[in-house]
Amino acid sequence: VTDGPGRLTTSWATTWRTLLGAAVDVVVPPRCVACAEPLERVDRSEGAGAWCDVCAEGLQPAPRPGLFLYVGGLATLIQRAKYSRELGAAHALARLMADRLDTDALGPIDVVTFVPAHWSRALWRGFDLPALLADAVAVRLGRPRVSLLTVRRRDPRLAQTSSREQRQQLVAGRFGCARAAAGRRVLLIDDVHTTGATLGAAALALRGGGASVVPRTLALTPDDGTFMAIDAPDQ
Ligand SMILES: [Zn+2]
């Protein structure tokens, strides 16, 4: 899934789109991707894909950089993608993000990149959710998805600490930035935004590399620490 820093991966994104289309078509009869209830009616023109009305209405818009709050069916789907390693769930999330991103609000974007997981995490999971989200968004925008960030080190203390200040300190300096970032306006994609420490460090690395950054995350947790334990294993 990952490639070298700065390599263009438009062909991979095209492959992904083909695979996703095939995956969606084999689901007969269609079921809600979030709750698995059979769907009486699938209206793909609505843009949210195969979500039942209940789950679709349960999607709660979040303030930027988030698209939706990390609650309900969306939270369940994200946990299935991240911790149960369900590729179908990951593809459904990627489709949701690409469909529902407010592209008008982004301004001109040169490239799409993502917050990378440590390689051992991506290997264990078999795929990297933020990379899949970025692929789908790149296809929607007609821009290349480029791996601009590398993980320098992983601090095991991150999984234990819930203090915002501590997390920011631990995450600072975590990412390296490819030279290809210089002078570009970069859309930075992540899956779940909890404290902002990881996204902030990634944005800082890109800006340090000469890019301007527009961050977006699929989900934003309510800023009260409620979901910290759920998100912590990946941070
Ligand atoms: Zn549902």
Model confidence over 97-108: pLDDT tens digits? 999 999 999 999
Q: For residues 150 and 116, what is the distance between their CA atoms, to the nearest angstrom?
A: 7
How many of the other CB atoms lie within 10 Å of CB of 98? 22
CA of 158 to the centre of ligand 1 (A): 33
> How far from 203 is each of 107, 108, 113, CA to CA, in Å?
17, 17, 11
CA of 71 to the centre of ligand 1 (A): 13
CA of 165 to the centre of ligand 1 (A): 37
How confident is the model at residue 148, as a pLDDT? 96
Spans of the chain below 50 pLDDT? 1-8, 27, 45-48, 224-235
CA of 139 to the centre of ligand 1 (A): 26
How confident is the model at residue 2, as a pLDDT? 45
How confident is the model at residue 152, as a pLDDT? 82
How confident is the model at residue 229, as a pLDDT? 33
CA of 51 to the centre of ligand 1 (A): 5
What pTM does this model have? 0.74
